[in-house]
Amino acid sequence: MSDAPIEPLPDVPANIVPANIFLIGMMGAGKTSVGRVLAKRLGKAFYDSDHEVVRRTGATIPLIFEIEGEAGFRTRETAVLGELAQLQNIVVATGGGIVLREENRALLKRSGCIVYLRATVHELWQRTRHDKNRPLLQIADPQAKLAELHAMRDPLYLEIADIVIDSSRQSLRNLACALESKLALRHRCSAAPPLTSATPGA
């Protein structure tokens, strides 16, 4: 497995939204699909952290899990996140388990605006039940495993999210538009000068 570095794209002019946007959430939440649409609408570069791990190693995620275990995959995932966090004007779809490591959560908080695409376990199951590229779900009772993972990870997503948006039963276009509005509002609020009280006697 090779470890070719990520090639940064040229800078994109500043927009009305935060420079870097990181999408977090469970497998099946729609991070990659929404991220691609959002990046195109905003003129930003798009990256998928799972795809970057695959590109660097030349191996599929199930194969990485088989050879190195989940711990090995998580180490590679952290390394990729460290490189992506150094780029500017990007939208990143992160892997569902990226929040499990405290160092990843801290890095995400320092590096951009974090959006949690939240969905119910039922909706996530409907989207992932036929996907054989999810090594954690290749067990006897994948639906129960998905519920277990959701219960474990949901508090971590909520802990670091700047924006939480329901990704269930929405078209990609509607979801991207709603998210763009939330991002613009947050950016305007964070860029506004702090309110100051009037000086007595002024």
pLDDT tens-digit readout, 42-54: 999 999 999 999 9
Select the more confidently predicted residue: 186 or 5: 186
Q: How far apart are CA 34 and CA 169, in angstroms?
A: 13
Of the CA atoms within 13 Å of residue 198, those in its CB half-sphere come to: 3
Q: How far apart are CA 121 and CA 128, in angstroms?
A: 10
**pLDDT category of residue 138 using cuts at 50, 70 and 90:** confident
Q: How far apart are CA 44 and CA 111, in angstroms?
A: 15
Q: What percent of the chain has pLDDT over 90?
A: 56
pLDDT of residue 16: 66
Q: With 80 as the cut, is the pLDDT of residue 89 above it?
A: yes
Backbone Cα Rg of the chain: 18
Q: 149-188, pLDDT tens digit by residue?
A: 999 999 999 999 999 999 887 788 888 888 988 988 887 7
